Structure 1
Amino acid sequence: MNTLLDEYYRYDLHNAGFIERKHSIGEENTLIYGIAQSGKTSLIKSYLLSHKKSTYLYFDCRDCRLDINELNGSLKTFCRDNKISILALDNYNESIELFELDQIILSSEEALELPFHTIRLELLDYEEFLAFESKFDSTALNHFFQLGGFPAMHKIASEDRVLYLQNILNRALEPIEFSILSQASKMVTQKVSAFNLYERLKGERKISKDKLYLHLQSLFDRGYLKSLGKFNHPSAVKKLYLCDIAIKHALVLQKHFGRIFENLVFSELDKRHVECYYDEGIDFYLPQRGQIIIASPFANEHALFKKVEALEAFIVSNRVREVIVVTMNLESTLSHPVSRIEMIPFERWALGDDT
């Protein structure tokens, strides 16, 4: 095992073209978790490369040459003998025993119960996405709709992106989880229960309810799937969203721009940890801000007035201050008796201070 550790210790790390993210690693023990290809490895390597090479050891725990029992018997001694102060275990396996060291950095798809500083690394939001663009012009938004938030997609040729993402998901997920995610991709923004998914999938493959519920929960826990509850109705069926629209592009042919657009709006709110809910006729209600947000890429004023009229009781009873309609490119402020209506293009809304 020392031979393998020595091989990793001698490696020169490469992290070409790294672009700063909104999160960074400090000097404390740190756990970074997030879905596959969210940028965890790049963040770790960027931090390590700012230190003297002899002070750190990095290795990927997925390496099939690693024998966990042998590793547990030699890792601490190896670090001591080589005066290693920073140990980085990418794709950490919980069977690997940890020990006292100046700093330990771990990455995982899931949050782990460790007394470490924790970073949940989400996929790129629109602001981060722009930093990955070679130029910032009117094509950036359309590019975001095509690529989504996976950082690596900028480096993949357009004709290879679908298969690239399919391969990533196939490696990261169990077969049943891949099937669940594929089915969920057809149902984004809809009210979907675990039983609904079970009914859809049982016609395609033999599966028990318990097994489906277990793997479905794992997809939520790791962040591949997201859900949105109904305001003041915690037991109501939740709306279903993907962590990124690129997954829908990669797994299903079915296109519905309105649903993709709503998923994009949800993702921006979710990445900023904004408290929100849905209600009948309301895409997103933000109680702490007194806002209703409606995702309507091609809104028109007449339809908006009719929609707001139907929501008057909710607006009045919950003291909603404004209705924000996120559009593709329409911009306007409308006067309405019960609430201010603001139409804002997605680009300006996503980059605004109060998103």
Structure 2
Amino acid sequence: MQTLLEEFYKTDLYIDKFHDRKISLGEESYQINGVSQSGKTKLVKHYLLGLKKNTYLYINCNDIRIDIDELNNSLSKFCIQNKIDVLVLDNYLQVITFVNVSQLIITSTLHHPVDILQTIRLYPLDYEEFLAYEHKYDSSALNHFFQLGGFPSMHKVHSDLRHLYIQETLLNALDNVEFDILKFCTKMMSQKISAFTIYERLKSIRKISKDKLYKSFDALVEKNYIHTLEKFEHSRATKKIYLCDISLKAALTTDKHFGRLFENMVYLELLKSDVTCYYDEQIEFYMPHLNEIILCMPFSDERALFKKIEQIEAFIFTHSIEKITAITMNTEGSISHPLSSVEMLPFDIWALGD
């Protein structure tokens, strides 16, 4: 193991051109959690390349040459002998024992409850981060975002290989049951669906127990491959399902439904803004602390918005909604309302706003 650690220590790290994320690393110890291809490794390597070469040790725990028992027996001594200040355990495995260093950084799809580590949730690129990869900021950028989604690596994958690339990434990151559940959720994105319903659908095409499906479903939620949204004041009601990235829709199914894809994209922007929200009947997103409603109406006009407001009038007055924003593809405007500020905003303007 000593020889392998020496190799890790002496190997020069390399990353392609780095585009800044909204998250950066300081001198604290971290665990960085995120789905595969969300950019965890590149973020860590970018940080390490700003340090002196002999002060850090980077270990990718997926390296099949690593013997865990030998690593646990020799890592602490190696760090002391070489005066390692910063230790990175990329793709961390829980069986690896932490050692005493000035700064410890681990990356993982799963969250590990470790008090000494500050948790960072790294999601795929949001629209503002995506624009750093674009050569021009016009309507083509938004169309490109719909095509590529938020995985940073997709910018280097040729168009004829993108779907296969995502499929292979997911097959490597998930077990067979998790993959089948995710594939089914892709068909049901932005809709109300329960784990029991998924079980009922999948048991007809594969042998699976209810317990196994429930555990795999919970694992996908814990790893943030899928997200669930509660109905307002009805925590037991069936939750809505959203995907970790919109690119999964075209990669895992041929089903077409732009409205649901658009709603998923809006949800991810809200998720990365760390805003608490819920859904309600005919209301995509309600944010109680902001007294605001978000409606997803990609191809609607002011007339359609007026009709929509009429349908949710009771909710607006009952909860004293102060602001209603209808997110569109390119329509901008407003309508008058006695209680609320009501406006239509194109997605790119809304996503880049404060």
In 2, are the aligned partners of 1:312 and 1:338 still within 8 Å (CA)? no
CA displacement 1:122-145 (0-9 Å, x = unmatched):
111111110121332220000011
The residue number in structure 2 matching 1:317 is 318
Over the aligned positions, Cα root-mean-square deviation in angstroms equals: 1.0
Which is worse superposed, 129-138 or 236-245? 129-138
The residue number in structure 1 matching 2:219 is 218
In 1, are the aligned partners of 2:292 and 2:321 still within 8 Å (CA)? yes
Which runs of structure 2 are paired with 1:1-355 in the superposition (5 Å)?
Answer: 1-115=1-115, 116-353=117-354
Partner-residue secondary structure (3-state), 1:212: helix
2:242 & 2:25 partners in 1: Cα distance? 29
1:72 CA drift (Å): 0.8
1:86 CA drift (Å): 1.0
Letter in 2 for 1:49: L
1:137 & 1:300 partners in 2: Cα distance? 21
1:273 & 1:110 partners in 2: Cα distance? 19
Letter in 1 for 2:36: A
Q: Note the residue ranges of structure 2 that are not aligned, 5 or more in a row.
A: none
Percent identity of the aligned residues?
54
2:195 & 2:209 partners in 1: Cα distance? 12
TM, length-normalised to structure 1: 0.98
1:224 CA drift (Å): 0.3
CA displacement 1:220-264 (0-9 Å, x = unmatched):
001000011111111111111101110111100111001000111
Using a 3 Å threshold, how does the CA distance of structure 1 residues 102 and 340 change in structure 2: closer, same or farther? closer
1:338 CA drift (Å): 4.5
1:184 CA drift (Å): 0.3
Partner-residue secondary structure (3-state), 1:293: strand
CA displacement 1:142-182 (0-9 Å, x = unmatched):
00111111011111111111111111000000011000000
In 1, are the aligned partners of 2:302 and 2:334 still within 8 Å (CA)? no
1:89 CA drift (Å): 0.6
1:162 & 1:199 partners in 2: Cα distance? 28
In 1, are the aligned partners of 2:302 and 2:333 still within 8 Å (CA)? no
Which is worse superposed, 130-139 or 252-261? 130-139
Q: Note the residue ranges of structure 1 that are not aligned, 5 or more in a row.
A: none
1:156 & 1:15 partners in 2: Cα distance? 16
Using a 3 Å threshold, how does the CA distance of structure 1 residues 3 and 316 change in structure 2: closer, same or farther? same
Partner-residue secondary structure (3-state), 1:288: helix
Partner-residue secondary structure (3-state), 2:289: coil
1:300 CA drift (Å): 2.2
1:17 & 1:265 partners in 2: Cα distance? 28
1:22 & 1:224 partners in 2: Cα distance? 20
1:288 CA drift (Å): 1.2
1:203 CA drift (Å): 1.1
In 1, are the aligned partners of 2:320 and 2:339 still within 8 Å (CA)? no
| Count of residues in correspondence between the two structures | 353
1:108 & 1:336 partners in 2: Cα distance? 48
Which is worse superposed, 278-287 or 304-313? 304-313
2:65 & 2:206 partners in 1: Cα distance? 34
CA displacement 1:20-41 (0-9 Å, x = unmatched):
1111111121111110011000
1:93 & 1:339 partners in 2: Cα distance? 50
